[in-house]
Amino acid sequence: MIEVHANLFVGHEGDCFFYEKEGWAVVHGCKIPCHQHAVGYSGNLPRTHPNYLVLERGSHLFLNMIDPDLPLFMPATFAATLAFMDKFWGTRKILIHCNQGNSRAPSLALLFLAKRLRVIDGTTFDTAARDFKRLYPPYQPGAGLLRHLRENWTRIE
């Protein structure tokens, strides 16, 4: 787990916890095992399920998020994540994790730092990524996520 800004941490699956931990909020940026565990399914969830994209439970946000080479990301996922982080910012530490801590979780942290806190240059995704890599050198967004963020940067609020 690496603190990329005061009280904002990026981690991997080993940093994950499902219980309420005083002073913490967690964004679980992975379908397997977190979203599946929280929603209670294996395989795939029907798109009509009310928690198909996200499940917010207390101070935890579970995302049905994978990291494919083709961009399959939904705007609602990013909107829910930023809204969740807005809710807990300033009152709790926030951990964002994915399976390996290289792509999804740091991309969500990058969005928060650029779009909400404005502590990195959010003019374009590439300028934000350049600034973010100084804070989190292991950042390596997957091809699909990279493409999605570049193509949709101005629409993500």
Q: Which domain holds residue 26?
A: 2-155
Phi and psi torsions of 146, nearest 5°: -55, -50
Contact 10, 97 (CB under 8 A): yes
Show the 3-state SS of the chain. Answer: CEEEECCEEEECHHHCCCCCCCCEEEEECCHHHHHHHHHCCCCCCCCCCCCCCEEEECCEEEECCCCCCCCCCCHHHHHHHHHHHHHHECCEEEEEECCCCCCHHHHHHHHHHHHHCCCCCCCCHHHHHHHHHHHCCCCCCCHHHHHHHHHHHHHCC
pLDDT of residue 129: 98
Kindly give the confidence (pLDDT) of every residue in the chain, 157 residues in length, as a single tens digit, with 9 standing for 90 and above. Answer: 999 999 999 999 999 999 899 999 999 999 999 999 999 999 999 999 999 999 999 999 999 999 888 777 888 999 999 999 999 999 999 999 999 999 999 999 999 999 999 999 999 999 999 999 999 999 999 999 999 999 999 999 8
Crossing angle for the helix pair 125-135 and 143-152, nearest 10 degrees? 130
pLDDT of residue 83: 97
CATH number at residue 111: 3.90.190.10
Number of domains in the chain: 1
pLDDT of residue 72: 79
